[in-house]
């Protein structure tokens, strides 16, 4: 008998494990081939929507060159009335590589699973806080060189 597909909650757990292991390509591989990633609060010049696993992989490829994630001290996953949808509240701590500054950033992600993969991931985070820790200013278009993500 085959293993049942991962739930949305299990995908969050696996994503946090991969993030802490600094395996961003493994994290991106949690997406369905046609899965999407959205950033409603993305700063000007940064992508607001990524279409497909390949785009997510490219977006996250250089993440660890910019952000050194050390811990996820706060994690709450809210199960919704739809078993395929969860809302995850995460606080991530680490060091911004370019500045050496410690950071603690909060995220809220709405994650929809389909067949054990991420079909849709809507990531709500504070781009101004990320810009500050990375040494940028609110007027800069994108704090993440090469289109890399905040988390």
CB 60 within 8 A of CB 25: yes
Say if 31 falls within a structural domain.
yes
Determine the number of helices (DSSP H) and then strands (DSSP E) in the chain. Answer: 5, 6
Local confidence band at 131 (pLDDT 50, 70, 90 cut-offs): confident
Say if 139 falls within a structural domain.
no
CB 151 within 8 A of CB 105: yes
pLDDT by residue (tens digit) across 84-117? Answer: 999 999 999 999 998 899 999 999 999 999 999 9
Here the CATH number for the domain that contains residue 108 is: 3.10.450.50
Note the pLDDT of residue 1.
52
Local confidence band at 78 (pLDDT 50, 70, 90 cut-offs): very high
Number of domains in the chain: 1
Say if 142 falls within a structural domain.
no
| Domain span including residue 67 | 8-134
Say if 102 falls within a structural domain.
yes
Nearest alpha-carbon partner for 32 in 112, 151, 150, 89 = 112
Q: Across all residues in the chain, what is the average pLDDT? A: 88
Give the span between the Cα atoms of 77 and 60, in whole angstroms.
23
Say if 104 falls within a structural domain.
yes
Say if 140 falls within a structural domain.
no
Q: Assess whether pLDDT exceeds 70 at residue 141.
A: no
Say if 27 falls within a structural domain.
yes
In percent, how much of the chain has pLDDT > 90? 72
Say if 147 falls within a structural domain.
no
Note the pLDDT of residue 2.
56
Local confidence band at 140 (pLDDT 50, 70, 90 cut-offs): very low
Structure-model confidence comparison of residues 141 and 56, the more confident one: 56
Nearest alpha-carbon partner for 103 in 93, 111, 113, 115 = 93
């Amino acid at each position: 008998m085959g293993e049942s597909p991962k739930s949305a909650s299990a995908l969050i757990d696996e994503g946090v494990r991969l993030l802490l292991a600094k395996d961003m390509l493994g994290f991106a591989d949690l997406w369905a081939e046609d899965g999407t990633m959205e950033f409603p609060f993305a700063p000007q010049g940064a992508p607001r929507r990524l279409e497909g696993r390949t785009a997510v992989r490219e977006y996250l490829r250089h993440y660890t060159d910019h952000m050194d994630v050390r811990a996820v001290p706060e994690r709450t996953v809210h199960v919704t009335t739809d078993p395929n949808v969860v809302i995850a509240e995460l606080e991530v701590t680490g060091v911004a590589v370019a500045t050496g500054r410690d950071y603690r950033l909060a995220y809220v992600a709405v994650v929809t699973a389909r067949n054990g993969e991420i079909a849709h991931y809507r990531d709500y985070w504070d781009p101004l806080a990320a810009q500050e820790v990375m040494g940028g200013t609110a007027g800069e278009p994108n704090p993440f060189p090469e289109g890399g993500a905040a988390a």
